[in-house]
Each structure stands twice: as structure tokens, then as C-alpha cells.
């Protein structure tokens, strides 16, 4: 293959999207990596310039160019700040898909790791963990059994205290550091839970993969809150990972396959809405239609379109439905942490705050720099540890300045990141999902911080 025949990443992206950026720079103050580094190449307009230059053939796709693009969290804070409506996510994500196509697979075969056909795998971590473990809630649940016993017996603390944990490869060590205090395993949610009181809606509950394995207690709290608000809750057994783990690392085809499975699982005319309690999953599910079109431009799938139309974040859905005011008092000062894929990708900011403010006795306090990412960004805190820690520590400083009793976050990845950086800084402040506080208030139960640290 000659030089002119080599595939160029980004050629499939409509060129007009690059031209939407007028390089005004208003996005730079909202970009976490630019704020931390001051490097124009680590800003949204800088990265757009790099991608466009690669497409135009003016810049070679060097390792340095890749590093600037890889350092992006894809938090989409720049989209909120941009006055020109630049679709930054629709530039970066397809470009990353093209980059992944240029990277030849290495390591064991797809069949050996149980991956769907077409899953690219640049290294062992992606093949065995990012693609082979995390998207599969049953596999992950089984993998967490020894971790629960290690925590219960104190083995994890022993390994940390003696420094033996340093013998692990860096990414496995990071995974161990990110692991929260695991609650006792709860039973699976039943296929259907009935509304309490007059039925107001029938909703499907999306449970995902990592969220179900690590945060099943949040799913149970979500289901109970929906029941209290007059909703029949349906939990389809055939649902799967949302596909974000694959797509955001460049594996587009497996992500689209997962989209189709989920759309089919929830394709029930009885459902008034499909409720998601993880911001990252919700953003991915809501983006399914245009991702499908970009990956498979010659196909149409009306099932996916219907799925996207019904998908709602739990806070968005309850706010639109008209949340029934809970009666249990919780005398807590709460700092609400805006998840990027809720406030930027889904444009949901006020709804979670309105719901929390309905809880008697609860005081909600503002947090500085709410637009900046905490450094979680899916698997970013595993693949870009240095920047993730800088951003996580920056967020923790702002959160601790509020002197809040509790931190509320509507995203599983943010919760993992914040808990890890709080522990690192020596702070024993619990991180919970807003729906957990609503659930306690409905049940008129006290908040027990020791149960959540």
C-alpha cells in the first residue's frame, strides 16, 4: 500500500463539523486538561485544529499528536461553553474510532477472551479487563467475590500497609485503589416491581454492567423511589452493557451490537420511559441513534430510535413526572457533584438539585468549578492516571471546602473516583447517589455514614 493509499483518520467525519469551531477560545476555561496544563494542544480548539490538520494532510499522526488527543477526557464541558454549537464529541469520538482501526490487535485472540468479533485490542488491559471483564456484569460480580472477602478479612489493608500492592502492574494497582468498600451482595432485581399507590407510569430500569456489579444497592434504591412515585418498574433480563466502554476507547462495532441488544430488550410499547441512574450510561444510550448512523451509515434501526426517545436519567424523569415529596427528615449538608455526562452531555443540572431540596432537613451547598471533570471519565483514571489524579485532587479540595457531611453524585464512575481520592487525602466523607438519599427519606430511615465509607 502506497503512502497516498493509507487510511486517514477523520475522513469519515463531515468536514463542516471542523469548520463550526471559530477558535474563539471560550472553551479553554472549561477544559480540565487545558486548565491543568496551560497547553493549547490540550484544549478543545487545539485538538480540533490537530484533527483537522491530520485530515487535511498538514500534520502527520505522530505519537505526540496521539498523546494530546488521548489526554482528552471527552467530558464535553467545551460543548456547554461553546457559543457556536461545536459538536466536539461528534468529532473526537469518530476520530478515536478511526485511530483504533489503525492499531493492529495484539495479544490473545478475541475468542480466547470472550470478546465480540471486531473488538480491537491494543494491549492486555483492554482485551482482558476493559473489554473482557467490565462490560459483563455476571463476570464482574464473580470477580468481586474474592475482593469482598479480602476487604472483610483485612487482606487489602495488609497489602497496602506492607507495600506488596506495588508488585502489581500499574493498571491493576490502579484498579485496586479505585475499588470502593463493597457492600454485601444483594439479590438481583426481580423482572417487575409494582407501583405503590395509583399507577402513574410503567418504566424500564437500565442496570448496565459495572453499576450492577458494584452499585446494585443504588438500583434497588432507584426501584423503590420509582415505586413510591407510582411507577411499575420493569427490569428486562436481556439488557446488556450500554457500549460506552467499547465506543469511547474506539471499538465502535461491538458498541453498536450492544446498542441493538438493549434496544430490543426494552422494545415494549407498555414502557413510558427507560430510566437510567448512571450519567455515563445515559449519555451513551441517548447518543445511540447518531452513533449507529455514523458506524453503519447504510443501515437503519427504528428500534434504536424508539429506545433513545424513551431514555431518561432518573432525576430527569422524576422531575418531569412530578416527584412526590418524601417525608423523612435528613439533617445533612450535601455537596452535589455534577457528573460531566449529566450536566454537559445531557444538559441536566437543576433537576437533581430540585429533587434533593425536597428532602426535609437537607441543606444543599454549592461547589466551586462545577463544570470541571473529576478525572473519572469512564476508564480514563486507569489509562491516564497522572492527569486523573490531578483533577480528582482538585475536585476533592473544592468538595472538602464546603464542609459537607455527604457528597452526592449521579454517576458510578464519579463515585469510584471521588471515593478513591478522598481516601488518598485522608477524608472519611461518604459519596452517595442522590436517589439513595431520596430512598432513605421515603422510608423515613436515618443516614448511616459508616455504612457508606
pLDDT in tens, 206-253: 999 989 999 999 999 999 999 999 999 999 999 999 999 999 888 899
pLDDT in tens, 307-353: 999 999 999 999 999 999 999 999 999 999 999 999 999 999 999 99
- Is residue 437 within a helix (H) or strand (E), and if so which, with residue range? helix 434-443
Residue-level pLDDT at 109: 39
Indicate where the chain has its CATH 1.10.1060.10 domain(s). 3-102
Which fold is adopted by the domain 192-320?
Answer: Rossmann fold (3.40.50)
Give the global pTM. Answer: 0.90
Mean pLDDT by 10 residues, the chain (453 residues): 66 92 92 95 96 94 93 94 93 90 51 41 71 85 84 79 78 79 88 97 96 94 98 97 90 93 97 97 95 90 95 98 97 96 96 97 96 90 91 96 96 93 93 97 91 63
What is the spatial distance between Cα 227 and Cα 237, in angstroms, rounded to a whole number?
19
Q: Which three cell numbers stand for residue 448?
A: 448511616
Residue-level pLDDT at 452: 62
Q: Which three cell numbers stand for residue 417?
A: 473516583
- Residue 365's φ and ψ, nearest 5 degrees, are -115, 145
Domain 328-452 in this protein, CATH class: alpha beta
Indicate where the chain has its CATH 3.40.50.11810 domain(s). 328-452
- Is residue 242 within 8 A of residue 284, CB to CB? The reply is yes
Residue-level pLDDT at 55: 94
Domain 3-102 in this protein, CATH class: mainly alpha
Amino acid at each position: 500500500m502506497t503512502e497516498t493509499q493509507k487510511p486517514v483518520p477523520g475522513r469519515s467525519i463531515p468536514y463542516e463539523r471542523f469548520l463550526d469551531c471559530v477558535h474563539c477560545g471560550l472553551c479553554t476555561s472549561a477544559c480540565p486538561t487545558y486548565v491543568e496544563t496551560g497547553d493549547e494542544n490540550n484544549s478543545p480548539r487545539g485538538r480540533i485544529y490537530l484533527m483537522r490538520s491530520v485530515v487535511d494532510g498538514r500534520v502527520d499522526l505522530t505519537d505526540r499528536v496521539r498523546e494530546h488527543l488521548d489526554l482528552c477526557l471527552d467530558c464535553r464541558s467545551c460543548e456547554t461553553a461553546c457559543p457556536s454549537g461545536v459538536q466536539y464529541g461528534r468529532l473526537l469520538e469518530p476520530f478515536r474510532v478511526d485511530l483504533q482501526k489503525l492499531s493492529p490487535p495484539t495479544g490473545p485472540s478475541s475468542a480466547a477472551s470472550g470478546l465480540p468479533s471486531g473488538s480491537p485490542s491494543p494491549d492486555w488491559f483492554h482485551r482482558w479487563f476493559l473489554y473482557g471483564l467490565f462490560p459483563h456484569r455476571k463476570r464482574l460480580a464473580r470477580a468481586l467475590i474474592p475482593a469482598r472477602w479480602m476487604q472483610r478479612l483485612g487482606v487489602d489493608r495488609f497489602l497496602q500497609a506492607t507495600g506488596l500492592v506495588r508488585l502489581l502492574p500499574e493498571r491493576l494497582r490502579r484498579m485496586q485503589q479505585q475499588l470502593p468498600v463493597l457492600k454485601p451482595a444483594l439479590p438481583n432485581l426481580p423482572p417487575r416491581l409494582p407501583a405503590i399507590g395509583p399507577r402513574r407510569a410503567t418504566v424500564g430500569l437500565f442496570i448496565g454492567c459495572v453499576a450492577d456489579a458494584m452499585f446494585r444497592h443504588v438500583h434497588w434504591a432507584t426501584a423503590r423511589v420509582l415505586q413510591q412515585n407510582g411507577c411499575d418498574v420493569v427490569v428486562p433480563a436481556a439488557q446488556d452493557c450500554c457500549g460506552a466502554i467499547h465506543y469511547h476507547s474506539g471499538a465502535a462495532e461491538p458498541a453498536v451490537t450492544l446498542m441493538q441488544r438493549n434496544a430490543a430488550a426494552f422494545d415494549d410499547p407498555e414502557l413510558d420511559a427507560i430510566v437510567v441512574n448512571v450519567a455515563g450510561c445515559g449519555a451513551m444510550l441517548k447518543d445511540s441513534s447518531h452513533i449507529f448512523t455514523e458506524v453503519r451509515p447504510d443501515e437503519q434501526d427504528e428500534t434504536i430510535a424508539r429506545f433513545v426517545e424513551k431514555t431518561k436519567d432518573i432525576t430527569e424523569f422524576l422531575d418531569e413526572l412530578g416527584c412526590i415529596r418524601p417525608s423523612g427528615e435528613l439533617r445533612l449538608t450535601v455537596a452535589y457533584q455534577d457528573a460531566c455526562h449529566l450536566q454537559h452531555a445531557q444538559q441536566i443540572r437543576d433537576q437533581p438539585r430540585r429533587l434533593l431540596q425536597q428532602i426535609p432537613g437537607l441543606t444543599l451547598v454549592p461547589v466551586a468549578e462545577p463544570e470541571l471533570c473529576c478525572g473519572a471519565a469512564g476508564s480514563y483514571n486507569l489509562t491516564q492516571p497522572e492527569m486523573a489524579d490531578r483533577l480528582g485532587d482538585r475536585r476533592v479540595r473544592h468538595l472538602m471546602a464546603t464542609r459537607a457531611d455527604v457528597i452526592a453524585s449521579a454517576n458510578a464512575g464519579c463515585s469510584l473516583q471521588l471515593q478513591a481520592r478522598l481516601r488518598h487525602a485522608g477524608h472519611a466523607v461518604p459519596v452517595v447517589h442522590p436517589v439513595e438519599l431520596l430512598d432513605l427519606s421515603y422510608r423515613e430511615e436515618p443516614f448511616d455514614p459508616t455504612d457508606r465509607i
